[in-house]
Amino acid sequence: MPIAPLLIASFLALLCPTAAIAQALELSGIQTTPHQFSSELRWRKAPDPSLSARTELFVRNTSEKTIAIEGPLQFDSATPSQLVSANAWAWRDPSWENGFELPAGALRVLRFNGQTSEWGTGSNHTLDYKTIAADQTAKNAQILFDIQTPNAWIESIGFLSTDASLRPTRVLVTLRNDLEKNLELKSCRLWFPKDNESYPTLFPFLEKNDLQTWNADQNIPAKELIGLTIDTPPLALTYMALEIVLASASESKPIRLWASMKVRPNTFDISGGWTANQVKNRMSMTNEEYLKTLALLHVNTGQIEEVAGFTDNPELYAKYPMKRFNRLGDRQRYDSDAMLPNIHAVEFLGEPQYGGGRPVPAQEVFDKLAPYAPWRLPTSVTLSEERTWRYYAGLSDYPHYDAYRVIAPAADAWTKYDRWNGESIRWGAPLETIGSMTRSLREQSRPVSIAYWSQGAHDGWGGILSPRRGSPTPQELRAQAWQGLGNGIMSLYWFNLSMKSLAKFPDLLDPIRRVGREIDLLRPILQSGTAYRYERILQDGKPSWDLSSIASQDSTLLVANDLDYSIDTKTRTFQFATRPANFRFALPTWLHNDSSNGRLDCFEIDADGPKPIKYRIEGQSVLIDAPTEVLVVGLYVVTRDKSLRQRLAEQTTALDQREKELGFDPIGNPEDRKRLESWVD
């Protein structure tokens, strides 16, 4: 700035100190997540084609004094509550609407979710507010901002902890560069509150300028996803913000990427659903044979809070630990160091998109979850209808959805799918729409992780006279689960492994057990990885394969879901056949950079452990060669860790031993199967 204007500005600031205060509130960044909906799903009522966006404004006090902001803040001359009432916004965080104080150097995140295209990408807006000086004089101020489609963004943030305190010491970040040019990683900064109670006010916590990507350099290639690992002091389980600074050779100004979320240690859990129920006048979870069966299925979580005779029985609970997934409304009990390792998430709102006859407004959902914001527990919401769940995006710390593709109630219109040579059916929907919904929710929820209720053994579907089986077949169950797993879920919830359900559909025990074993074997990749690529393979114009991958720093899981299944019109089930196949999967740059020196290993993996396959590394891809044969889904791992294959073989043996030591096997022991079936006779 030239000297004369600088002197004039300083003189005006002395005459009117409130002007200096007003200018000190800076818009440091914007995080925009555009709304979307899948074109693959079919509905009774078409989705509203106008798209909005979820927006976060990162405002910072650049002065040396605390700024007092008087409310209500206004956007385009309307308050946030007015915008929600007018259905222009789906929800807003009311904690900042009526004003707040922002200490020197501190940051505040102003979050809201649009509902109309006027608040979508390509729109321009104003934020009007008042600052209050020490002498109580007020000064109006305004910030102009644009909501634009991002061309680079923070795709995911994950947290890894190594001890029972659950306080992470590593942050895993993936960045997506959608530009046609390379970018350079310059620095990052973590922002944290002073404590959980003051969670909305963030301060600089840790800054690093010597970061490297997983490519062992600072380069973020064009049209590519890249990761980086940040080592930190132990982090509090509270809300935080991440600021990433990038540089481009063609841009004079740095590119700043922002994201915010609650710190939640990455854990991949498997839920059995509503496991606590009365069977023959006895609580199911006091039946040790049932608990052994859940352990055999690798279930470690249930839709439970307190279960008499189980959670209050220290010996039984220690022998068959089960994470809680419920309201958990007693903060003194559940938000405690002793209880945190036994908590999956807070969830008590049912399916708000249905709401027992009327959709529960997104703002109402936000308000019901707001009391948990200072807690260390993550919150979750069950979403049900992809057509409108964009309006509920951003409400919870760990969102999940439920969708079942055969016999069960569904939000989409199954008869409108013409997937099978134009033939429509009433009893099922394309199994691959699970992948479509997973990608949709994941992309609209970034950077947080998502989970999925997968269709398991449940005795409440279908009718007595229905020729259709009342639960999925083993193949249908496996296909749905791996459509979710292959597209980036962080936990899987089976619906619904009650005692009665398992007794009614014993042929689903082994398929559920096998998926559980595969999750156990692949947990390090699933917990530290992020969805990398997805591709639909057509043959003669018809769906043939869905190829997807989950990439971590050292390994990538490759998933091939078979789409060439058929309809059995007599049993009304989907039928799969073993298919010979070969696949080409794109490798992330940090792995294909190792391909030239022979450092990569590749193998097949399933519940029985790793298996050798024929493969070739060609350029930026790995080719899985025939005669690979696939039934329902093929799973492969490519890794720079040459010891991984042997460790997985040893882990498989350990899983065999663990299952054997349970001493109850209704899968392999006919007498135990009879005992299982007698539970509900």
Summarised one tens digit per residue, pLDDT across range 51-68 is: 999 999 999 999 999 999
Rounded to 5 degrees, what angle do the CA atoms 64, 65, 67 make?
130
Please report, as a single letter, which amino acid is at residue 494: W
Is 70 exceeded by the pLDDT of residue 594?
no
* Exposure string for 463-472, b = 16+ CB within 10 A, e = fewer: eeeeebbbbb
Whether 203 and 107 have beta carbons less than 8 Å apart is answered as yes
Is 50 exceeded by the pLDDT of residue 9?
no
Give CA 616 to chain center in angstroms.
32
Report the pLDDT value the prediction gives residue 659, as an integer from 0 to 100: 98
Taking the C-alpha atoms of residue 219 and residue 379, their distance in angstroms, rounded to an integer, is 35
Report the pLDDT value the prediction gives residue 19, as an integer from 0 to 100: 39
For 151-161, write each residue's pLDDT tens digit: 999 999 999 99
Report the pLDDT value the prediction gives residue 301, as an integer from 0 to 100: 98
Strands 123-132 and 99-102: unpaired
Is 80 exceeded by the pLDDT of residue 381?
yes
pLDDT band at 228 (very low <50, low <70, confident <90, very high): very high
- Non-local (6+) Cβ contacts of 674 within 8 A are none
pLDDT band at 597 (very low <50, low <70, confident <90, very high): low
- Non-local (6+) Cβ contacts of 676 within 8 A are 289, 293, 502, 503, 506, 666
Taking the C-alpha atoms of residue 532 and residue 526, their distance in angstroms, rounded to an integer, is 12
Q: What is the CA radius of gyration of the chain?
A: 26
pLDDT band at 250 (very low <50, low <70, confident <90, very high): confident
Most confident option among 11-15, 23-27, 330-334: 330-334
Taking the C-alpha atoms of residue 90 and residue 86, their distance in angstroms, rounded to an integer, is 9
Is 60 exceeded by the pLDDT of residue 13?
no
For 643-661, write each residue's pLDDT tens digit: 999 999 999 999 999 999 9
Rounded to 5 degrees, what angle do the CA atoms 431, 433, 435 make?
100
Is 60 exceeded by the pLDDT of residue 467?
yes
Report the pLDDT value the prediction gives residue 15, as an integer from 0 to 100: 38
CA distances from 359 to 354, 487, 601 (A): 5, 28, 50
Chain position carrying tokens 């249905």: 354
Chain position carrying tokens 């947080």: 448
Is 80 exceeded by the pLDDT of residue 613?
yes
pLDDT band at 680 (very low <50, low <70, confident <90, very high): confident
Is 50 exceeded by the pLDDT of residue 21?
no
Report the pLDDT value the prediction gives residue 355, as an integer from 0 to 100: 76
Whether 443 and 389 have beta carbons less than 8 Å apart is answered as no
Q: Residue 339's closest CA among 369, 298, 313, 305?
A: 305
Q: Residue 5, class by beta-carbon neighbours within 10 Å (0-12 exposed, 13-18 middle, 19+ buried)? A: exposed
For 172-211, write each residue's pLDDT tens digit: 999 999 999 999 999 999 999 999 999 999 999 999 998 9
CA distances from 507 to 98, 456, 472 (A): 58, 11, 10
**Residue range 298-314: mean pLDDT, rounded:** 98
Taking the C-alpha atoms of residue 429 and residue 432, their distance in angstroms, rounded to an integer, is 9
Q: Residue 487's closest CA among 429, 517, 447, 530?
A: 530
Q: Residue 537, class by beta-carbon neighbours within 10 Å (0-12 exposed, 13-18 middle, 19+ buried)? A: middle
Q: Of 345 and 16, which is predicted with more confidence? A: 345
Q: Residue 274's closest CA among 426, 460, 76?
A: 460
- 3-class DSSP string for 122-149: CEEEEEEEEEECCCCCEEEEEEEEEECC
* Exposure string for 136-152, b = 16+ CB within 10 A, e = fewer: eeebebebebebeebeb
- Non-local (6+) Cβ contacts of 72 within 8 A are 79, 80, 81, 97, 98, 99
Q: Residue 486's closest CA among 429, 557, 579, 585?
A: 557
Taking the C-alpha atoms of residue 320 and residue 311, their distance in angstroms, rounded to an integer, is 10
The total of other beta-carbon atoms located within 10 Å of residue 640's CB is 17
pLDDT above 70 covers what percent of the chain?
A: 96
**Residue range 1-24: mean pLDDT, rounded:** 41
Is 50 exceeded by the pLDDT of residue 6?
no
- Which range (76-80, 131-135, 215-219, 540-544) has the least confidence? 131-135
Please report, as a single letter, which amino acid is at residue 627: P
pLDDT band at 12 (very low <50, low <70, confident <90, very high): very low
**Residue range 241-264: mean pLDDT, rounded:** 95
- Which range (137-141, 189-193, 566-570) has the least confidence? 137-141
Report the pLDDT value the prediction gives residue 74, as an integer from 0 to 100: 97
Mean pLDDT for all residues in the chain: 93
- Which range (16-25, 188-197, 372-381) has the least confidence? 16-25
Please report, as a single letter, which amino acid is at residue 498: S
Report the pLDDT value the prediction gives residue 2, as an integer from 0 to 100: 40
Strand-pairing partners, residue 306, are: none
Whether 152 and 222 have beta carbons less than 8 Å apart is answered as no
pLDDT band at 23 (very low <50, low <70, confident <90, very high): low
Phi, psi of 155 (to 5 degrees): -75, -45
Rounded to 5 degrees, what angle do the CA atoms 63, 64, 65 make?
95
Taking the C-alpha atoms of residue 548 and residue 486, their distance in angstroms, rounded to an integer, is 6
Phi, psi of 466 (to 5 degrees): -75, 130
pLDDT band at 595 (very low <50, low <70, confident <90, very high): low
Residue 619, SS3 per DSSP: coil
Residue 622, SS3 per DSSP: strand
Is 50 exceeded by the pLDDT of residue 394?
yes
Is 60 exceeded by the pLDDT of residue 16?
no
Rounded to 5 degrees, what angle do the CA atoms 314, 316, 317 make?
65
pTM value?
0.95
**Residue range 411-432: mean pLDDT, rounded:** 94
CA distances from 34 to 63, 394, 630, 631 (A): 32, 12, 37, 37
pLDDT band at 1 (very low <50, low <70, confident <90, very high): very low
What is the length of the chain? 681
- Non-local (6+) Cβ contacts of 93 within 8 A are 110, 111, 112, 366
